[in-house]
């Protein structure tokens, strides 16, 4: 009987600790709300370039759409991709973890009753909450002025799938970046690895162009295009997927299957991150105060 009571009590205590970490992280992030506001405004500058670029591309061709995307679709796609990237991007997470390993500051999490990954997750949740609290007005204004580029608002099921994909993209982005940072237990400097990851992620996430445009690129395997391969990788779920869901590019059974793949990648990367942390701390040693 005592064991059955102790387990819920321990779980409740863990939630209290996590909630405390979240509140502290929120207070820290609110100090930099001006930086968040400026960063939000800077995010919208590249979309102006994309509008001019794709306007020129469509003007140079007689086609009304490219890869299933009209000019309006492309502009809407890039605006939606900004929303997804605001969820999935984790600036400084991997390098911050590697730096804490290198300078020894991570050792405090080895002696205190605070789980390092839970602390990092709480800090990133706080970061996103403050970011969107500050960014909601600029985002709403831009989307209002660009509303003519968007198709009609989708049905409730599509909206629910879109929101689910955003939450999963946040978790996926967090665990992928955190796992990269854990490589600091094995390598003195991970900046080159992180740079390589960011390059691949930028190309294959759909942040540079819609993944659909890769459908005609062969892989050397009969009936399999490069887009088919990319759909099985985790990168597209950090940018392309949520935008495609809202625009109706992914529907029905294909939508359910894609959400299942995204959720699977979240679990895989969460497990990989936890394994990297446990194995890394076993071989880690730090000295000094």
First to last CA, the chain: 43
Give the pLDDT band (50/70/90) at residue 275: very high
> For 40-92, what is each residue's pLDDT tens digit?
666 666 777 777 777 788 878 777 787 778 888 888 898 899 889 888 988 88
> For 162-188, what is each residue's pLDDT tens digit?
999 999 999 999 999 999 999 988 888
Q: What is the pTM of this model?
A: 0.82
Q: Name the DSSP class of 92.
A: T
State mean pLDDT over 249-260: 92
> For 95-134, what is each residue's pLDDT tens digit?
999 988 888 888 888 877 778 898 898 888 887 887 777 7
Give the pLDDT band (50/70/90) at residue 1: very low
CB 147 within 8 A of CB 246: no
């Amino acid at each position: 009987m005592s064991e059955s009571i102790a387990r819920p009590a321990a779980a409740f205590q863990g939630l209290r600790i996590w909630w405390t970490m979240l509140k502290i992280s929120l207070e820290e992030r609110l100090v930099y709300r001006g930086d968040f506001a400026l960063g939000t405004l800077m995010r919208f500058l590249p979309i102006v370039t994309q509008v001019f670029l794709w306007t020129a591309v469509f003007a140079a061709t007689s086609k009304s759409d490219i890869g299933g995307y009209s000019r309006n679709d492309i502009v809407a796609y890039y605006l939606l991709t900004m929303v997804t990237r605001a969820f999935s991007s984790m600036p400084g997470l991997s390098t911050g973890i590697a730096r804490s390993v290198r300078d020894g500051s991570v050792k405090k999490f080895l002696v205190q009753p605070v789980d390092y990954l839970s602390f990092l997750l709480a800090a990133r949740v706080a970061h996103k909450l403050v970011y969107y609290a500050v960014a909601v007005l600029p985002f709403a204004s831009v989307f209002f002025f660009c509303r003519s580029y968007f198709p009609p608002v989708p049905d409730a099921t599509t909206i629910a799938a879109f929101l689910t994909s955003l939450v999963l993209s946040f978790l996926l982005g967090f665990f992928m970046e955190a796992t990269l940072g854990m490589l600091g237990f094995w390598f003195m400097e991970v900046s080159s690895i992180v740079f390589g990851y960011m390059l691949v992620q930028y190309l294959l996430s759909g942040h540079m162009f819609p993944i659909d445009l890769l459908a005609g690129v062969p892989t050397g395997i009969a009936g399999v295009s490069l887009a088919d391969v990319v759909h099985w990788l985790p990168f597209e779920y950090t940018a392309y997927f949520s935008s495609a869901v809202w625009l109706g590019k992914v529907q029905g059974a294909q939508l359910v299957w894609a959400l299942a793949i995204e959720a699977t990648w979240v679990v895989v990367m969460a497990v990989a991150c936890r394994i990297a942390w446990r194995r890394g701390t076993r071989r880690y040693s730090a000295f000094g105060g």
